Chain A
Amino acid sequence: MKKILLGTLAIAATMSFAAEAPVVTPVDQCRLALDNAKASLPANAYSAKLTLAEGYGTLSALETIYADDDDSKLIPTVLENCKKYAELAKLQGETQALRNHIAENWDKRAATNRTIEAIQEQIGEARSGKVSDLEAEKQAIKAQKDKLEASKNEAMDKLNALQSQMIQVTKDARGIILSMSDILFDVGRATLKTDLMTSLAKIAGILSVYQQFDVSIEGNTDNTGSEEFNMTLSQQRAENVMNFLVEQGIAETRLTAKGLGMTMPIADNSTKEGRQKNRRVDLVITDRTQKVK
């Protein structure tokens, strides 16, 4: 019973508090709406501030109307107008905030584009520096190439000077070819004759100056005699030439010797002149620098 009594008293107390809660008048509602809008305005939202001033004017009118007659039919419309002023000011404030942000972003874009231009200039400078480096490198390569070419021509001139009845100097895709007639050898033997040694000594002198040249020594015969004999003879002649050049100070690594027998004729073996031409030792002089390329 006590509990019921206490409960009833509590409900009565709550109802009494509810009844005493402060009444929010239309004037309060208007002021609250305007003050809220005012709080959110950016400093430069001038249109919004003018709108807000109009709103506060409406608030004054509402205060007068409410003071005269708190039941006036005008109050709802004027209160709505007040709220619309607040809404309008808030919207104008938001728009101004957006415009401020837009202006900031334009500034940022301008700064970013200035940075990009500066970077582009730096790229241009870096590239032009590289171009001059590249150009210098190209010039150096060209100079080196020209030097080698001049050296080769010089060597060629000197080798050409060896041209005689016994030594033919020609040039083909492999390089410079010195063809030495077999009259420089004893018949059927591989021993070098004095004339041949003299010519080979001159060739060794040229090769020692022009270190870019390697020499492939190829012994050749005509088709008379057995194939085996010719192969052996050509091999021995080629090796003897090579050994002589080594004796003259040419590095063995620059030289190779091989006997080709009757396999590489350069003339008709059916004639005496042709066979004479086929009996030979060829010195194929190649440019190592060009082989590398």
Chain B
Amino acid sequence: MKAKLLACCSVIALVALTGCSSSQNAVNRSLGQAEATRSLVNDNKLDASMTSNSYSKLVAAKALKEDGKEEEAQALAEQSELDMRLAVAKSENEMAKNEDKKLEEALRADEERKVLYQSILNKETKK
């Protein structure tokens, strides 16, 4: 009976340990990813409020991990990374908007040039 109980306890402990280890891996992965995203895409052109928010969340996530709150730490680390990605996406969106605007102006200028040349041609062929 003792042996059965021991075996049972051992299985429970193993499952608990495995679960704990898997949860730790996940939070480490999220924290690492958030940290890497921050350092890789850190740029002055990005929205400062969003990047600083992201950093605060990363710090908070690390603190949660230290407190043993892995799931919360993981969710917050993910949010920290999402903030960085949003900052990048906003910046790219702005750049695309600017390029689109410039191109619209260039296209309008081309159209005006076309009309001008067409009027010259009409004059030249009128005689």
Interface residues, chain A, with chain B CB atoms under 8 Å away:
51, 58, 73-74, 77-78, 80-81, 84-85, 87-88, 91-92, 94-95, 98-99, 101-102, 105-106, 108-109, 112-113, 115-116, 119-120, 122-123, 126-127, 130
Min CB distance B65 to A, Å, is 14
Contact yes or no, B117 A88, CB < 8 A:
no
B127 x A109 contact (CB < 8 A): no
Near A by CB (< 8 A), chain B positions 51-103 give: 71-72, 75-76, 78-79, 82-83, 85-86, 89-90, 92-93, 96-97, 99-100, 103
Contacts of A98 in B (CB 8 A): 93, 96-97, 99-100
- Closest Cβ–Cβ distance, residue B85 to chain A (whole Å): 6
Q: Chain B 94-127, CB within 8 Å of chain A: the 1/0 string?
A: 0011011001101100110110011011001101
Q: Which 6 residue pairs across A and B have the least CB separation, nearest first?
A: A98-B96, A126-B124, A77-B75, A84-B82, A91-B89, A119-B117
Residues of B within 8 A of A (CB): 71-72, 75-76, 78-79, 82-83, 85-86, 89-90, 92-93, 96-97, 99-100, 103-104, 106-107, 110-111, 113-114, 117-118, 120-121, 124-125, 127
Chain A residues with Cβ below 8 Å from B100 are 98, 101-102, 105
Do A74 and B75 form a contact, CB below 8 Å, given A91-B90, A109-B103? Answer: yes
Contacts of A123 in B (CB 8 A): 117, 120-121, 124
Q: How far is the CB of B93 from chain A (nearest CB, A)?
A: 5
Specify the chain B residue showing the minimal Cβ separation from A103.
B103
B79 near A77 with CB under 8 A, answer yes
CB-defined contacts of B124 to chain A, threshold 8 Å = 123, 126-127, 130
